[in-house]
Amino acid sequence: MLEKADAPRRWDTLERSYRARIERGAAFADGKIVRRDETERFLEAVIEPGDRVCIEGNNQKHADFLAAALSKTSVEAIHDLHIVQSNIALPPHLDVFERGTARRLDFCYAGPQGLRMARLVAEGKIEVGAIHTYLELYSRYFCDLTPHVSFVAADAADADGNLYTGPNTEDTPAIVEATAFKSGVLIAQVNRIVDKVPRVDVPGDWVSFVVEAPKPHYIEPIFTRDPAVITEVQVLMAMMVIRGIYEKYGVTRLNHGIGFDTAAIELILPTYAEDLGLKGKICRYMSVNPCPTLIPAIESGFVESIHCAGSELGMEAYTAARSDVFFIGRDGSMRSNRIFCQLAGHYSDLFIGSTLQIDLEGNSSTATLSRITGFGGAPNFGSESRARRHGSEAWLKAGREQRLSGEMPRGRKLVVQIVETFGDGMSPTFVERLDAWELQKTFDMPLPPVMVYGDDLTHLVTEEGIANLLLCDTMEERAQAIRGVAGYTPVGMKRDREMVARLREKGAVQYAEDLGVDKRLATRDLLAARSIKDLVAWSGGLYDPPSRFRNW
């Protein structure tokens, strides 16, 4: 029997809230265009205490003007926000916590702000919901962390709010989709307002307001690695990767982490791999930002197609002129998309990246005791893709080596960590126990912050050799294979030499001579480019490096 309802349930509270916010915000705008001088009061009008707010801030572009404006709003008007954003990179991102504008935080990566973040967490000014991987955080935008208000960064907008992101589309589509279709207020910071945008990356009717920033949003060239500082040891490791992994498995689809180790691999494709006759057989399709060190491999015909999570400063004209390789819009500039790039990389044959610490199970972490940094893209790229069904030579071969019990054949993604046995300041990369455990205790986290789990890892490359963990049958063998390439670190010196010799016989540990790698070739002469200027030359003058990388 129906009882008399107290009051009918409202099913459009979000929509009604949206309309009220738009109406309040309209007082500070002409149409969709917010009057810049009134940005702070505008934010006080559209944001409510306790809102979930996303400030687009990713690897490269940042809604920096809006972030700074938020950090100057009245704490009476706006407080206790729950910030849900991928990158904490700029001081205002933490200023909002320092002053009480925001309290709770879900994020992916803190980078240079990691030290200050750790302090604010310790002082109780930040309650960390979780440190996510990129795909997890985006996923939760579509689940329980949907933003009420999002700030995104774009290159240009028109009066209707159509946005042009330029080559750095990055996280924008994920944020926009989640916000605009769940009655959220979407505010775009743009470098310029134009009559007609070069291409529509975000349709105007998804965009609530636009602010023209006083100066172009901040972009950092974080994927540029100067070949001038690649060492002979890194060249040696790159040679071992090409012979011992790329050639052996026939890896054609892959993701490279960002670092000098992987830059060295990219730069010896046109020399070392070419001489081995590997062109067309390895490294054909990549999920990676347009790193300048890829230019020689593209120009020499190794890499045929690249999808990018974001762009890289100075690579705009080069990518635009290589539309066979990069994903390019009708306007002629690149389109990036972090979520799709992460997905493509997740289902490719191989991930290779670097880390700061590895334990005897192969767990790795970039966390150090004094800072909270997060993970970046590595955990999604660098994990076994268990949902994968399609076969490829590399994936099936790795699956056969794994020899799982049971009858059912399975493939295996290759997940490779490449490290020198000692890092900066002679700190050993190999440890009996990760600092991550200590960090878990210090910051009261549910899990130690591990970047790549040992059971996802298949190969470990050091200057001493390669440990193939697929061929290790027991945890004891795995630990000895890791010790067997850990060099003169305390972990490496404690190896059981007989067991390592046995592992070497079955290929679970391989040194340069076992791989047919001639150490005498491991010099910088093997690099197809040894300077930024060489990269410019390879690009036919299309690559325009930021001034800080020049020496001419």
Partner 1 sequence: MEHLEFDYDGTGAKPARAFALAGVVGSGNLEVLIEAADLGGRCAAVVDTSVRGYGETWRQVLADFFARHAMSDVRVSINDGGATPAVVSLRLDQAAAEIKDASA
Partner 2 sequence: MRVARHSFYEATARRRVDGLLDQNSFREFCGPAARIVSPHLPALGMPVAFDDGVVVGEGTIDGRKVLIAAQEGGFMGGAVGEVHGAKITGLLERAADVKPEAVVLLLDTGGVRLHEANAGLVAMGEIQRAALSARHAGVPVIVAIGGKNGCYGGMSIVARSCDWIIASEEGRLSISGPEVIETVEGIEEFDAQDRALVWRTMGAKHRRLIGEIDALVADDMGAFRSAILNFVGRPRPLDLDALEAEHAMLSRRLERFWDCADGRDVWARLGINDPAAVPALDADSFNGLVGALEGGRS
229 part of the interface to partner 1, by CB under 8 A: no
Name which position in 270, 353, 465, 487 contacts partner 2 (CB under 8 A). Answer: 270
Take residue 514 and report the two structure tokens written for it.
């076992």
Q: What are phi and psi of 151, to 5 degrees?
A: -105, 125
Q: Any contact of residue 393 with partner 2 (CB under 8 A)? A: no
Per CB under 8 A, 318 contacts partner 2: no
- Whether 329 and 242 have beta carbons less than 8 Å apart is answered as no
Spatial CA neighbour of 353 closest among 374, 372, 381: 381
Residue 233 makes contact with partner 1 by CB under 8 A: yes
Q: Interface with partner 2 includes 14 (CB under 8 A)? A: no
Return the one option of partner 1, partner 2, none that residue 231 interacts with (CB less than 5 to 8 A, by type).
partner 1
97 touching partner 2, by CB under 8 A:
no
CB–CB of 358/417 below 8 Å?
yes
Size of the site for partner 2 (CB under 8 A): 23
The structure tokens listed for 439 are 């960090």
The verdict on 19 binding partner 2 (CB under 8 A) reads no
By beta-carbon proximity to partner 1, the closer residue of 120 and 233 is 233
The beta strands (E) that lie in 23-112 are given as 29-30, 33-34, 52-55, 81-87, 102-109
Report the candidate in 57, 124, 121 with the shortest Cα–Cα distance to residue 84: 57
**DSSP characters over 130-172:** EE--HHHHHHHHTTT---SEEEEEEEEE-TT--EE-TT--TTH
> 229 vs 369, which CB is nearer to partner 2?
229
Report, in Å, the least distance between residue 247 CB and partner 1. 23
At 478, which helix (H) or strand (E)?
A: helix 475-483
Q: Which stretch binds partner 1 (CB under 8 A): 11-19, 225-233, 287-295, 373-381?
A: 225-233
- Nearest-CA neighbor of 106 among 172, 63, 66, 53? 53
Does position 192 interact with partner 2 (CB under 8 A)? The reply is: no
Q: Out of partner 2, partner 1, none, which partner does residue 488 contact, by CB within 5 to 8 A per kind?
A: partner 1
Report helix, strand or coil for 510: strand
Find the helix packing angle between 134-141 and 338-346, rounded to 10°: 130
User: Do residues 66 and 95 make contact, with C-beta atoms less than 8 angstroms apart?
Assistant: no
Query: E-strand spans in 309-423?
Result: 350-353, 357-358, 364-365, 414-418
**Window contacting partner 1 (CB under 8 A); options: 3-11, 30-38, 191-199, 419-427:** 419-427
Q: What is the DSSP letter of 62?
A: B
Alpha-carbon span 269 to 283, nearest angstrom: 9
**From candidates 426, 444, 446, 447, binder to partner 1 by CB under 8 A:** 426
Q: What residues numbered 236-255 form the site for partner 1, per CB under 8 A?
A: 236
- Contact between 233 and partner 2 (CB under 8 A)? no
Cα separation, 498 vs 111, in Å, equals 42
Single residue of 65, 302, 375, 538 touching partner 2 by CB under 8 A: 538
Q: Which is nearer to partner 2, 414 or 526 (CB)?
A: 526
Hey, which residues does 131 pair with through a beta bridge?
107
Question: 174 or 467, CB closer to partner 1?
Answer: 467
Strand positions, DSSP E, 331-410: 350-353, 357-358, 364-365
DSSP state of 434: -
Could you say whether residue 511 binds partner 1 (CB under 8 A)?
no
- Token code pair at residue 448: 């130690």
By CB under 8 A, residue 475 contacts partner 1:
no
498 scored as a contact of partner 1 (CB under 8 A): no
By CB under 8 A, residue 547 contacts partner 2 = yes
- Does 529 contact partner 2 by CB under 8 A? yes
Interactions with partner 1, residue window 85-104 (CB under 8 A): none
Binding-site size, partner 1 (CB under 8 A): 17
Among the listed residues 299, 384, 435, 463, the single contact to partner 2 using CB under 8 A: 299
Q: Among 421, 468, 510, 539, which residue interacts with partner 1 (rule: CB under 8 A)?
A: 421
Q: Check: CB of residue 122 under 8 Å from CB of residue 98.
A: no
Q: Could you say which of partner 2, partner 1, none residue 536 binds, taking C-beta under 5 to 8 angstroms by partner kind? A: partner 2
Residues 475-514 vs partner 2: string with x where CB under 8 A?
Answer: ----------------------------------------
- Whose Cβ is closer to partner 1: residue 422's or residue 437's? 422
For partner 2, give the closer residue by CB, 284 or 524.
524
CB of 138 to partner 1, least distance (A): 39
Q: Is 505 exposed, middle or buried (0-12, 13-18, 19+ CB in 10 A)?
A: exposed
231 binds partner 2 (CB under 8 A): no
Q: Which two tokens stand for residue 443?
A: 């910051």
* Of the candidate residues 17, 271, 392, 440, the single one contacting partner 2 (CB under 8 A): 271
Contact by Cβ (8 Å): 535, 552? no
Nearest to 280 by CA among 299, 252, 258: 252
201 binds partner 1 (CB under 8 A): no
> Which residues lie across from 430 on neighbouring strands?
358
Which residues are at the interface with partner 1 (CB under 8 A)?
231-233, 236, 420-422, 425-426, 463-464, 487-488, 493, 519-520, 522
Which residues are at the interface with partner 2 (CB under 8 A)?
270-271, 296, 299-300, 524-525, 528-531, 533-534, 536-538, 541, 547-552
